[in-house]
Structure 1
Amino acid sequence: MKNKIIIWMLGMIFFSCQKEIDLNLNSANSKIVIEGEILQNETAQVKISKTVDVDDANSYPAVSGAIVIIKDDLGNTEQLLETASGVYETSLLKGTEGRTYTLEVTVENNVYSAQSTMPQKVNLDDVKISISTFSPPGQTEDNYIVYPQFIDPLELGNNYRFIQSKNGEADPTIIVANDNIDNGVANSRPIFSQDFELKKGDTLTLEMMCIDKATYDYFFSLNQSQGNGPGGGTTPANPVSNIQGGALGYFSAYTSQKKIVLVN
């Protein structure tokens, strides 16, 4: 996984991203990993796995038999069903903007919890595609760069995540942004990814998610822990998590919108 940090490049501010990478764990001990998400108007899904020794193959065995419960701030509660090994889902409880959700996981005699408030949706109005000025040396075919068109709300503290794909192939990156720069105005920052090239005739799908600060912090700190931060990053450490009790991972309530654009 990787993260987006805001950087200056040739006088422009980009939504930047790093190549997708795996968790660089600051521990040789096995840990529970919880990845929980609830989307607006959709049911919740929680994946539970376990880390392996750093010398083992890079795999995360699924954890079955957990008791997983999600509650909202209106008093609604549901125990999730295990629909596949290590995958737990609600059947009734769905995400709603502005609601706060609490996740409780009991597994291997330990209890973990997390909380996330679903932000109000910021409308993705359109997607602008322009010819990039950063084509590799010697390349004659034009590259294109993506500009999400949205107006950031006046209130400071909005956080975003973007997923882009071309012709059905996802960009192997995680891209996040916040409004610490250009708060309350129309977005003017493009998405920049070194592993994603758009050509004329490609079909672009862009998903914009409104996420809470804890989710943003998780991916930002994951980026830092891999040495991709300013000045080479920091000493490797486990990423910041909103899950209490010692597990790795995150719990996120978020909104999502998609736009499909033909590059021409």
Structure 2
Amino acid sequence: MKLYIKLLTLLTISIFFSCEDVIDVELQKAPERLVIEASLDWEKGTTGNNQTIKLSTSSAYFAEDQNTPVTNAAVKVTNTNSSEEFIFASQNNGSYTTTTFNPIVGNTYDLEVIYNSETYIATETLQPVTDITRVEQSTEKGFDDEILEVSVYFNDPEDEKNFYLFRFKEDGDLFFELEDGDDEFINGNEVDWWYEKDEEDNQGEFTSGDRVELEMYGISEAYHNYIRTLIEQSEGVGLFGSTPVALKGNCLNQTNADNYAYGYFRLTQVVKTNYTFE
């Protein structure tokens, strides 16, 4: 009986492995597109002259080489109020830089990128940002009243529509967290914008001695709508989550509309600070 069971087991294993076939799944391939990372951020207290725009091409999700810089484009930004032009020079690694940019709040700027004989155009207005008045810690404002959160305080300007982007990053973390906001229900008031680590994403909660970098950007309504969708998609598809789709920015191909670019041209003013938990 034991011998019979052993033979039956060996026969079953043999049949199982002999039926195992390799299945090649043909994945859909999207066309290669230009990716434009053009975030011209003017930090308060600086001249804002040094700016960088990054260009690359999209690649397949499972591609071995994800680094696909574009080095042979022509990049220019023009202040449409003054007609002042700023040429961004290629650094031969996908970065295009200038040291002469002149940021003026409220002025409108055009971005022009010429690549593979096609011209991409985007337009944005430089948005102001209010000052951060103070930063505090507490355990009273977050979802969990037993763990620490950090609060950024600022006064929202009256009689105007404001949109914000917040960036939080703890020392030692590989990635930063982004949150967007507007003043629909807080216009003209002191605002307390708090941030708490999300335990559901396996983030360690804040503890004494942790240092977090805080950045607050003043952004346009159009960019707010774009970044909100991007943040929602980055959080994954859940019961109430949005289904990920190809997200188009404001960089339009004037030569061939079907060959649109990924990315966005934004112009913001930003305030930065940091906080160490007690």
TMscore range, shorter length: 0.7 to 0.9
**Distance in 1, Cα, partners of 2:95 & 2:237:** 32
Q: Judge conservation of contact 1:163–1:170 (CA < 8 Å) in 2.
A: no
Residues 197 and 155 of structure 1: is their aligned pair in 2 closer, same or farther, counting only changes over 3 Å? farther
SS of corresponding position for 1:92? coil
How far off is 1:57 after superposition?
Answer: 4.1
**Distance in 1, Cα, partners of 2:229 & 2:244:** 10
Q: Percent identity?
A: 23
How far off is 1:253 after superposition?
Answer: 0.8
How far off is 1:231 after superposition?
Answer: 4.9
Greater gyration radius: 2
Give the match for residue 38 of structure 2: 36
Q: Tell me the TM-score normalized by structure 2.
A: 0.75
Letter of the 2:275 partner, please give it.
Answer: V
Which residue, 52, 69, 74 being the options, matches 1:67?
A: 74
Alignment of 1:1-264 (within 5 A): 28-40=30-42, 41-42=47-48, 43-57=50-64, 59-72=66-79, 73-131=81-139, 134=143, 143-167=147-171, 169=173, 171-194=175-198, 195=203, 197-225=205-233, 228=236, 231-245=239-253, 246-264=260-278
Higher relative contact order (CA closer than 8 Å, sequence separation 6+): 1
RMSD, aligned CA: 2.6
Which is richer in helix? Answer: 2
How far off is 1:234 after superposition?
Answer: 3.4
Please, which moves more after superposition, 46-55 or 225-234? Answer: 225-234
**Distance in 1, Cα, partners of 2:234 & 2:170:** 27
How far off is 1:242 after superposition?
Answer: 1.4
Q: Gaps spanning 5+ residues in structure 2: where?
A: 1-27, 254-259
How far off is 1:187 after superposition?
Answer: 0.8
Which is richer in strand? Answer: 1
**Distance in 1, Cα, partners of 2:29 & 2:105:** 36
Letter of the 2:130 partner, please give it.
Answer: V
Residues 172 and 121 of structure 1: is their aligned pair in 2 closer, same or farther, counting only changes over 3 Å? closer
Q: Tell me the TM-score normalized by structure 1.
A: 0.78
SS of corresponding position for 1:198? coil
**Distance in 1, Cα, partners of 2:222 & 2:89:** 26
Residues 32 and 60 of structure 1: is their aligned pair in 2 closer, same or farther, counting only changes over 3 Å? farther
Residues 184 and 240 of structure 1: is their aligned pair in 2 closer, same or farther, counting only changes over 3 Å? farther
Q: Judge conservation of contact 2:69–2:94 (CA < 8 Å) in 1.
A: yes
Please, which moves more after superposition, 106-115 or 190-199? Answer: 190-199
